[in-house]
Amino acid sequence: MKKYVAIYTEEENLFKKYRDMFDSRINLLWIKSDLAVEDQIEKDVVIPAMIINPPKISTEVALKIPGLRLIQVTSAGANNIDIITLNENGILVANNNGGNSVAVAEHTIALMLSVYRKLPRQFSDLKSGNWSGNSSMILPTSHDLSGQKIGIIGFGHIGKKVARRLQGWECEISYNDIIKLDQTTEHDFNVRFESREDIIKSCDIITLHVPLNRETTGMISDREFKQMKSNAIIINACRGPVIDEKSLINALDKKYITGAGLDVTEKEPIEMDNPLLKMDNVVITPHLAAMTQESMKKSSQFAVENSTRVFNGEEGLSIVLPL
């Protein structure tokens, strides 16, 4: 049987990019994601690994791929894939192993600053000829990052990169994760472990970096917002449904919290009548935190290396747990 790594995408240019990245000894197959899979695969072939872009594939389609052992995505999240069912059928899913973590961490800090300083408002005022005319509206919620207590919920690749970059900002940093670090590692990152509830109650900035699964969907809702400090801001650069959006809108309306910085929303693209778009204390970017040349290169390179490992009979790395 002939063995392949498949590239599952609509885009021919993307397939050509991967073809140039793989070792010439690896057989590549382009499976067009907009066509029936069974019409594109010859008989007597096996496809132990498949890179999919964008990171979305139905279980029905995945189970039609002969010999499939690994689905490789180039994103940090794989929430559009039924990982549990695939695992039950012997198919693992791997993410980008932190390939976009620097980009998302930098964007996260940019959102913190943008919310605190109301940068979109400053830009729009300037363009309309209103030079510093709204400073009285900006000052009450404008703060230094220095001296703030920042809580990082989710301390994986991205959470760690956020903590590392905040070290120079002289912040007090707490973290919460399903895995508690040893004391030496905590000291290295200059962080302290706290319960999620304590972070929610005590932090000035709460930033979310968790995968979207059954445990984290709606993790931040009415109860959590009511426990936050009134001067708190929340940052979400992971997945929109981690925050209950109606609860967020209510918390901002009732001033339970001061502001929010979001790279993701519950529904994407965001509907133009969403109240969040009209709020001065909310900064929203269109799920592009990971979009840098460097992160795309690192994520693609890992996808190639990991798929090659599985093609050669080795175990895949950076496997997403079926939660």
Shared domain for 77 and 34, answered yes or no, is yes
Compute the residue count for the chain: 323
The single-letter DSSP state of residue 57 is -
pLDDT for 77 equals: 93
Q: What is the mean pLDDT of the chain?
A: 96
Shared domain for 243 and 180, answered yes or no, is yes
pLDDT for 262 equals: 99
Q: Is residue 321 part of a domain?
A: no
Q: Is residue 268 part of a domain?
A: yes
**Whether 268 is catalytic:** yes
Q: Is residue 317 part of a domain?
A: no
Shared domain for 106 and 211, answered yes or no, is yes
Give me the CATH number covering residue 183.
Answer: 3.40.50.720
- Continuous H helices in 118-215: 119-127, 135-138, 157-166, 183-189, 196-202
Query: How far is the C-alpha of 236 from the C-alpha of 151, rounded, in Å?
Result: 12
Shared domain for 300 and 234, answered yes or no, is no
User: In what order do the strands lie in the sheet containing 259-262?
Assistant: 191-193, 172-176, 149-153, 205-208, 233-236, 259-262, 282-284
Q: What average pLDDT does this structure show over 187-207? A: 98
In the structure encoding, which two tokens stand for residue 171, read together? 């912040």
Q: Is the pLDDT of residue 133 over 90?
A: no
Interhelix angle 119-127/101-117, rounded to 10 degrees, is 60
Burial of 167-195, coded b for 16+ CB within 10 Å and e otherwise, reads: eebebbbbbbbeeebeeeebeebebebbe
Share of residues in the chain with pLDDT > 90 (%)? 94
**Whether 143 is catalytic:** no
Query: How far is the C-alpha of 284 from the C-alpha of 274, rounded, in Å?
Result: 11
Q: Is residue 185 part of a domain?
A: yes
Q: Are residues 21 and 300 in contact, defined by beta-carbon separation less than 8 angstroms? A: yes
Output the DSSP codes for 211-278. --STTTTT-B-HHHHHHS-TT-EEEE-S-GGGB-HHHHHHHHHTTSSSEEEES--SSSSPPTT-GGGG
Backbone dihedral region for residue 97 (phi beyond 0: left; psi -120 to 50: alpha; all else: beta): left
pLDDT for 141 equals: 86
Q: Which domain holds residue 32?
A: 2-99+293-311
**Whether 287 is catalytic:** yes
> Total domain count for the chain?
2
Q: Is residue 316 part of a domain?
A: no
Q: Are residues 130 and 184 in contact, defined by beta-carbon separation less than 8 angstroms? A: no
Q: Are residues 97 and 75 in contact, defined by beta-carbon separation less than 8 angstroms? A: no
Q: 268, 271, 294, 315: which is the annotated catalytic residue?
A: 268
Q: Is the pLDDT of residue 134 over 90?
A: no
The pLDDT tens digits of the residues spanning 241-278 come to: 999 999 999 999 999 999 999 999 999 999 999 999 99
Shared domain for 85 and 116, answered yes or no, is no
- Segment among 25-34, 46-55, 128-137, 282-291 with least mean pLDDT: 128-137
Q: Is residue 323 part of a domain?
A: no
Shared domain for 146 and 80, answered yes or no, is no
Q: 196, 287, 305, 309: which is the annotated catalytic residue?
A: 287
pLDDT band at 6 (very low <50, low <70, confident <90, very high): very high
Shared domain for 262 and 180, answered yes or no, is yes
The pLDDT tens digits of the residues spanning 141-182 come to: 899 999 999 999 999 999 999 999 999 999 999 999 999 999
Shared domain for 164 and 275, answered yes or no, is yes
Query: How far is the C-alpha of 66 from the C-alpha of 132, rounded, in Å?
Result: 63
Shared domain for 196 and 106, answered yes or no, is yes
List own/partner pairs for 117-126 with CB under 8 A and 24 or more apart.
117/142, 118/142, 118/280, 118/281, 119/283, 120/283, 121/280
Q: Is residue 319 part of a domain?
A: no
Q: Is residue 318 part of a domain?
A: no
CB atoms within 10 A of CB 9: 20
